[in-house]
Amino acid sequence: MKFLCVECDRQMQFEERQLPGDGTLAAAFRCPTCGRVVALLTNPMETQLVASLGVKIGGTTIDSQPLETVRGMVTTGRDDAFEDGKGPLPAWSREAQERRLVP
Ligand SMILES: [Zn+2]
């Protein structure tokens, strides 16, 4: 899984990964040319799906987890997969953004 900076046509480089421990996953990628940063945020179900694909993020494979429940949920789909109300777009918290701006 890679991210591409459309404007620069450059592959973005992995910068930071966070595993809060509640099953969610956050990963940041930065464009080496313009410095633009994008973040990937998955809910627990998506984190397991990513792990099931053997996808490496930041050079480390996510620990595999039981997927029986996930398979059952995927077939039906869920509209409320993101229950935090922030919508489908990944976003860093204000605290995280401010922290990242400080050298
Ligand atoms: Zn760029």
Q: How far apart are the first and last CA of the chain?
A: 28
Instruction: For residue 17, report the distance from its CA to the centre of ligand 1, in Å.
Output: 20
Q: What is the distance in A from the centroid of ligand 1 to the CA of 31?
A: 5
- Residue 30, CA atoms < 13 Å, CB-side half-sphere: 8
Structure tokens at 47: 């984190």
Give 43's DSSP letter.
-
CA-to-CA distance for 65 and 71, rounded, in angstroms? 12
- Mapping DSSP to helix (H, G, I), strand (E, B) and coil, where does residue 44 land? helix
Q: What is the pTM for the complete model shown? A: 0.49
Rounded distance from Cα 37 to ligand 1 centre (Å) = 9
Give 103 Cα–ligand 1 centroid separation in angstroms: 20
The tens place of each residue's pLDDT in the chain, 103 residues long, gives: 778 999 999 999 988 888 888 888 888 999 999 999 999 888 988 888 777 766 666 666 666 555 545 555 555 555 555 555 555 666 777 777 777 665 5
Q: How far is CA 63 from CA 11, 45, 78, 79, in A?
A: 25, 14, 24, 26
